[in-house]
């Protein structure tokens, strides 16, 4: 057997993303030993029984001591605490990456934990997932043909970048680089904002007196539109807090646009309404698969 890409891999947080990464790297024969780390031993033992990880470790520092690569696959809200626990044992030869949906906050947390932005940290974000969560839902093909955005910092080293990039490519993903600020703004617009709208709409309707009836009459379009409101509330809370600044900017811009449309409808401004809808349809048809 040839030398694997990563000899000792530690994944902190073995859920849908962490578990799928482990499975994909194993399938690609790109990894030696996989240590699964986290607070919940029982949960990790399930992952071990499923063959997703080789070793279970609830002491995060111990889990990272001999690692060549540490992947932080914990919720964004746990990132700061995890980084603080592992910082003392992470040497220059251990590469760190994460899978969080917001990137500036991870870098800020790392800077606090390490006293500087570690040059061996390559923040990452695989644009992949399902509505399910947990290691039981993980599968090796989750990242195939999906995009992974890396947001290296000014001090990030090339070998670190290369290894993280190779890791995701071994999972079948397409790896791209982006600045931290740009990543956070783009994701706020295309992912975090739509989730806010879906959550707000369903909650708004649910709080009305006749909510049962309202949902009864919702048609197919409503189901599609609100599917993302079934996403994990705690995870999305963490994303909101972590990407607060970009998300508030996106929300404020959207509210202003919505106020313009409301005014146009109120004034029966047909030109404005039709132009808006036509531009949107054109963009939707051109940019997205149907």
End-to-end Cα distance, the chain: 44
Closer by beta carbon to a copy of itself, 57 or else 98: 98
Cβ atoms of 7 and 32 within 8 Å: the answer is yes
Closest distance between a copy of itself and the C-beta of residue 80, in Å?
14
Site for a copy of itself in 259-288 (CB under 8 A): 259, 261-262, 265-266, 268, 270, 273-274, 276-285, 287-288
Q: In what order do the strands lie in the sheet with 147-150?
A: 124-126, 147-150, 174-177
Closest distance between a copy of itself and the C-beta of residue 145, in Å?
12
Closer by beta carbon to a copy of itself, 3 or else 223: 223
The pair of three-digit structure tokens given for residue 136, joined into one six-digit string:
């039981």
In angstroms, the CA 63 to CA 207 distance is 46
Closest distance between a copy of itself and the C-beta of residue 97, in Å?
19
Task: Tell me which of 9, 12, 128, 170 binds a copy of itself, using CB under 8 A.
Answer: 128
Site for a copy of itself in 135-164 (CB under 8 A): 147, 149
Closer by beta carbon to a copy of itself, 53 or else 188: 188
Q: In degrees, to the nearest 5, what angle opens at C-alpha 28 toward C-alphas 137 and 160?
A: 95
- The residue to which tokens 């404020």 are assigned: 252
In angstroms, the CA 52 to CA 45 distance is 10
112 in contact with a copy of itself (CB under 8 A): no
Site for a copy of itself in 235-254 (CB under 8 A): 236-237, 240-241, 244, 247-248, 251-254
Using CB atoms within 10 Å of the CB of residue 3, give its burial: 0 to 12 exposed, 13 to 18 middle, 19+ buried: exposed
Cα separations (Å) of 62 from 10, 203, 279?
A: 10, 43, 55
* Nearest alpha carbon to residue 56 among 72, 70, 74, 37: 37
Closer by beta carbon to a copy of itself, 50 or else 273: 273
Helix, coil or strand: residue 272: helix
Closer by beta carbon to a copy of itself, 57 or else 238: 238
Site for a copy of itself in 208-237 (CB under 8 A): 208, 210-219, 221-234, 236-237
7 in contact with a copy of itself (CB under 8 A): no
DSSP bridge partners of 147: 174
Site for a copy of itself in 33-52 (CB under 8 A): none
Site for a copy of itself in 167-206 (CB under 8 A): 186-187, 189-191, 193-206
């Amino acid at each position: 057997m040839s030398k694997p890409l990563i000899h000792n891999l530690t994944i902190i947080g073995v859920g849908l993303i962490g578990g799928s990464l482990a499975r994909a790297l194993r399938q690609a024969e790109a990894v030696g030993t996989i240590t699964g780390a986290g607070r919940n031993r029982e949960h990790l033992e399930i992952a071990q029984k499923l063959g997703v990880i080789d070793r279970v470790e609830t002491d995060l520092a111990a889990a990272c001591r001999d690692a060549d690569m540490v992947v932080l696959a914990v919720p964004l809200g746990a990132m700061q605490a995890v980084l603080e626990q592992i910082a003392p044992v992470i040497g220059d030869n251990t590469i760190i990456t994460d899978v969080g949906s917001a990137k500036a906050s991870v870098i800020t947390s790392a800077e606090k934990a390490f006293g500087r932005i570690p040059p061996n940290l390559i923040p990452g974000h695989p644009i992949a997932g399902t509505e399910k969560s947990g290691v039981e839902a993980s599968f090796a093909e989750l990242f195939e043909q999906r995009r992974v955005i890396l947001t290296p910092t000014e001090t990030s080293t090339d070998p670190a970048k290369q290894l993280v990039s190779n890791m995701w490519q071994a999972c079948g993903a397409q790896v791209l680089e982006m600045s931290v600020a740009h990543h956070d703004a783009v994701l706020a617009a295309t992912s975090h904002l739509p989730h806010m709208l879906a959550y707000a709409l369903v909650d708004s309707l649910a709080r009305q007196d006749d909510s049962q009836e309202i949902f009864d009459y919702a048609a197919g379009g409503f189901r599609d539109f609100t599917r993302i409101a079934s996403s994990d509330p705690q995870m999305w809370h963490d994303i909101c807090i972590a990407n607060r600044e970009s998300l508030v900017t996106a929300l404020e811009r959207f509210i202003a646009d919505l106020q313009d449309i409301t005014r146009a409808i109120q004034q029966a401004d047909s030109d404005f309404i039709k132009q808006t809808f036509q531009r949107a349809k054109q963009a939707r048809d051109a940019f997205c698969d149907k």
